[in-house]
Amino acid sequence: MVNKGPKNVEVLDFISTLKSYAVRGNHDEVVLRELAELKKDPSYELREKNKWMTSLRPEHVNYLNNLPYTISLPSLNSLIVHAGLIPGIPLEQLDYNNMTNMRNIITEDYFDGRGLVASTGIKDGVPWASLWPGPEHVYFGHDARRKLQQYPHATGLDTGCLYGGCLTGIFINGCKKMIQIPAKNVYVDPNV
């Protein structure tokens, strides 16, 4: 939600006025970590790209702190997560780093005693969503390089708006209609 465009504070102001839910992602984690470090050590130097964080008000920080890692929607047989889930591991046992950063699953017998381990890269293993067995359908983001991903029990909605792609949303109740709005600009070079 933050650190992905030029108007971070404005995004938080807008989102907090909506009657909506959101999940915590890797960039939200970065903001909270950086602000905690700054609070602990006032001489701590934020990197140039993170200096905007000093403009956050306490209600913004509180909002980010209260974001859940997952949202379960039993009536829609759906889950929402920022990045990914490891099949076979109950939600309450999942590592928040995986839920906010993973893209792939490496399927080797010696990992984790389950034969599965999360990977943040896209070269190691296979897309985690391709292995998700259901029954819940998982909606996720974080994987702009792959763009729209559609699997039997998982849908990846990150279509690279920041990189000049589209902002993609889906109505998950009923019709499953997808909406895409093209980005007005390329905010970050996708090749960097």
- Domain-by-domain residue ranges, the chain? 1-68, 69-192
Residue 5, pLDDT score: 74
pLDDT digits (tens, 9 = 90+) for 11-32: 999 998 998 999 999 999 999 9
pLDDT digits (tens, 9 = 90+) for 71-118: 999 999 999 999 999 998 999 999 999 999 999 998 865 455 556 888
pLDDT digits (tens, 9 = 90+) for 116-166: 888 888 888 899 999 999 999 999 999 999 999 999 999 999 999 999 999
Residue 110, pLDDT score: 46
Residue 135, pLDDT score: 96
Superfamily of domain 69-192: Metallo-dependent phosphatases (3.60.21.10)
Residue 109, pLDDT score: 54
3-class DSSP string for the chain? CCCCCCCHHHHHHHHHHCCCCCCCCHHHHHHHHHHHHHHHCCCCCCCHHHHHHHHCCHHHHHHHHCCCCEEEEHHHCEEEECCCCCCCCCHHHCCHHHHHHCCEEECCCCCCCCCCEEECCCCCCEEHHHHCCCCCEEEECCCHHHCCEEECCEEECCCEHHHCCEEEEECCCCCCCEEEEECCCCCCCCCC
Strand duo 104-106 + 126-127: pairing: antiparallel
Does pTM top 0.85 for this prediction?
yes
Closest CA to 172 of 73, 24, 99, 44: 73
pLDDT digits (tens, 9 = 90+) for 38-65: 999 999 999 999 999 999 999 999 999 9
Residue 35 has pLDDT above 90, yes or no: yes
Give the number of C-alpha atoms closer than 13 A to the C-alpha of residue 145, restricted to the C-beta side: 11
Residue 67 has pLDDT above 70, yes or no: yes
